[in-house]
Amino acid sequence: MTVITRFAPSPTGNLHVGNIRAALHNWLWARKSGGKFLLRLDDTDLERSRAEYANAIKADLSWLGLHWDAEEKQSDRFALYESRFEQLKASGHVYPAYETSQELELRRKVLLGRGLPPVYDRAALSLTSDQIAAHEAEGRKPHWRFRLDHNQPILWTDLIRGEQRFDPKLLSDPVIRRADGSWLYMLPSVIDDVDMGITHVLRGEDHVSNTAAQIQMFTALGAQLPSFAHEALLTGSEGKLSKRLGSLGVAHFREIGLEPMAVLSLLARLGTSMPIEPFAKVDPLIESFDFAHFGRAPARFDEAELATLNQKIVHLLPYEAVSARLPAGMDEAGWNAIRPNLENMSQAADWWRIVTGPVEAPAPDEDDRAFLATAREILLGLDFGPDIWPALTGALKERTGRKGKMLFLPLRRALTGLDHGPDMAQLLPLIGKEEALRRLG
């Protein structure tokens, strides 16, 4: 069996961090299994779906390196949905219902007020032909529901949650088609999963009850069930569901200078028993992906943890991996000098200005002014090479008797304008002798 997974976002908005995590896990399982990862744009809501959102979704996945093997749009597949719908009508698995949304909401409130679950009472199945004719005369159009089989308990073994059991009598017959003829999510998703040969459906645990109903739709269509896995939802760092998680996406991650691999390193293992580690390449994440590692507890997303991971990953990146993104003139030696001080790649240009100048150094006091004059005098007489920093500081120590902070800090301030920064042994050769002499006075 070839493993086929899918990521099926609706192009009605941008991807957020929860969407990205679901896409990543589907992609990882497909890649580990040597299978296929499909991108399916669930754009049946023609009013809210936008081409710009579809393009943004694809751009986000590409930036993360989650390349798909095939792409489909539900809006191109309406003829197939119509055909399967007629099949289900003929077999008695779907039925029309004429209640308005206001009537349904009133019934729901009455049931809740009585302490009962708000399950649809199937009143539509009892309508007489005269009642249906009266509704039609009023101009009412029916919406359509899938008729759950109340005689068969719904069972499946979830790859994350284990054995699952639902009593269909406690579920409402799901609405699958609106009165205007437009489709809701439930049935087209099943039809597509069957038609595309999806073997594994991996999504959030908020879809568990949807899965229960959809399992009966698979059966009604005479199709084999895929394997299901429902992962715990993300929470914010404070331990509660956070509205902010709904707004965090690739645009935000790019804006603050994060590396794609930082996002992948965190989200791949968030909610699992595996340690979260910084990875510069995705291969270890693919190799270690296993449903057995997933837990049931909510997965806590922490932006501070993401920032720390990003910093560690930047420190792992070789020059070849970043050369195209570096400021003009920065070579491998420059990268190696500033890399340990970076939190993200966007800071590279700021650190490189220490080399290229101009540098605004704080005015030294009288003692340090004399010290820097001595440093300039010594530097004039030294051969300027890779070991110029220890040569200069060694000679200065011997001449002035200074050591430690008294020796190094005035030099760093004069040469870089800062009290901290990259290793001066690496930085001074990059600044060059002429520029160093100018900065020393």
The pLDDT of residue 244: 72
59-76 pLDDT, tens digit per residue, is 999 999 999 999 999 999
89 labelled binding-site residue? no
Range of the domain at 19: 4-70+186-235
Domain count, the chain: 4
Side-chain-side CA neighbours of residue 1 (13 Å)? 11
Q: Where a domain ends, among 314, 346, 361? A: 314
Are 213 and 261 found together in one domain?
no
The pLDDT of residue 241: 56
Are 438 and 357 found together in one domain?
yes
CATH of the domain at 262: 1.10.1160.10
The pLDDT of residue 256: 87
Residues 41, 37: Cα–Cα separation, whole Å: 13
Are 419 and 350 found together in one domain?
yes
Are 282 and 385 found together in one domain?
no
The pLDDT of residue 239: 62
Query: Which residues, given as ranges, of the chain have pLDDT below 70?
Result: 238-243
The pLDDT of residue 143: 97
Are 343 and 436 found together in one domain?
yes
The pLDDT of residue 246: 73
Q: Does 321 reside within a domain?
A: no
Q: Does 103 reside within a domain?
A: yes
Are 418 and 336 found together in one domain?
yes
The pLDDT of residue 245: 77
SS3 sequence of the chain: CCCEEEECCCCCCCCCHHHHHHHHHHHHHHHHCCCEEEEEECCCCCCCCCHHHHHHHHHHHHHHCCCCCEEEEHHHCHHHHHHHHHHHHHCCCEEEECCCHHHHHHHHHHHHHCCCCCCCCCHHHHCCHHHHHHHHHCCCCCEEEECCCCCCCEEEEECCCEEEEECHHHCCCCEEECCCCCECCHHHHHHHHHHCCCCEEEEEHHHHHHHHHHHHHHHHCCCCCCEEEEECCEECCCCCCCHHHHCCCHHHHHHCCCCHHHHHHHHHHCCECCCCCCCCCCHHHHHHCCHHHECCCCEECCHHHHHHHHHHHHCCCCHHHHHHHCCCCCCHHHHHHHHHHCCCHHHHHHHHHHHHCCCCCCCCCHHHHHHHHHHHHHHHCCCCCCCHHHHHHHHHHHHHCCCCHHHHHHHHHHHHCCCCCCCHHHHHHHHCHHHHHHHHC
Q: Does 424 reside within a domain?
A: yes
Are 86 and 156 found together in one domain?
yes
Q: Does 322 reside within a domain?
A: no
**CB neighbours (10 Å) of residue 248?**
21
Are 121 and 197 found together in one domain?
no
The pLDDT of residue 109: 95
pTM exceeding the 0.85 threshold for the entire prediction: yes
Are 295 and 221 found together in one domain?
no
The pLDDT of residue 243: 63
